[in-house]
Chains A and B, each alone.
Chain A
Amino acid sequence: MGEWKVALAKRKRTVFDMIDDYFEDMQKWAEHFGEIWTAETPSWNLRNCSIEPLREITVTPTEVLLTVDLPYTLKDSVKVKSIGASGLEVSAQMKKKVKLDDLGVKHCKGVLEKFHCHVRIPVQVDMGKMNVHYKKGILEIRLPRKH
Chain B
Amino acid sequence: MLSEQVKIVERKKIPSGATLLFGFPDVGLVGVIAAAHLVDELGLTEVAYVESELLPPLIILHEGLPHSSIRIFADHNLLLAVSEVPIPADVIYPVMNRLIDWGKEKSVKMMISLSGLPMQDRQDAKELKSFAAVSSPEALKMAEDKGVEVLTEGYMVGPQAIMLQRAANSGTPALTLLAQCFFNYPDPEAAAEVLKALSKVIGLEVDVAKLSEKGEEIRLRARDVMKRTQEEMGKMKKGQEYDIPMYVS
Q: Report B-chain residues with C-beta under 8 Å of the C-beta of A43.
A: 223-224, 227
Docked Cα-Cα span, A54 to B182, in Å, equals 12
Chain A interfacial positions (CB closer than 8 Å to B):
35, 39, 43, 51, 53-54, 56, 67, 69, 71-72, 95, 98, 103-104, 135-138, 140
Name which residue of chain A comes closest to B235, CB basis: A31
Q: State A140–B226 Cα separation when bound (angstroms).
A: 19
Q: A43-B224, A69-B185 are in contact. Are A135 and B123 (CB under 8 A)?
A: yes
- A to B contact number (C-beta, < 8 Å): 50
Q: How far is the CB of A137 from chain B (nearest CB, A)?
A: 6
Show the binding face of B for A, using Cβ within 8 Å: 122-124, 182-186, 215-217, 219-221, 223-224, 226-228, 231
Partner of B217, one of A51, A56, A72, A138: A72
A50 to chain B, nearest CB (A): 13
Q: Are B124 and A54 touching (Cβ within 8 A)?
A: no
Check A69 against B231 for contact (C-beta < 8 Å). no
The answer to whether B228 touches A39 (Cβ under 8 A) is yes
Is A103 a contact partner of B123 (Cβ separation < 8 A)? Answer: no
The answer, among B182, B183, B216, B221, for a CB contact under 8 Å with A103, is: B221
Q: List 28 A-B contacts (CB under 8 A).
A: A35-B231, A39-B228, A43-B224, A43-B227, A51-B220, A51-B223, A53-B223, A54-B185, A54-B223, A54-B226, A54-B227, A56-B184, A56-B185, A67-B123, A69-B182, A69-B184, A69-B185, A71-B216, A72-B219, A98-B220, A103-B220, A103-B221, A135-B123, A136-B123, A137-B216, A138-B122, A138-B123, A140-B123
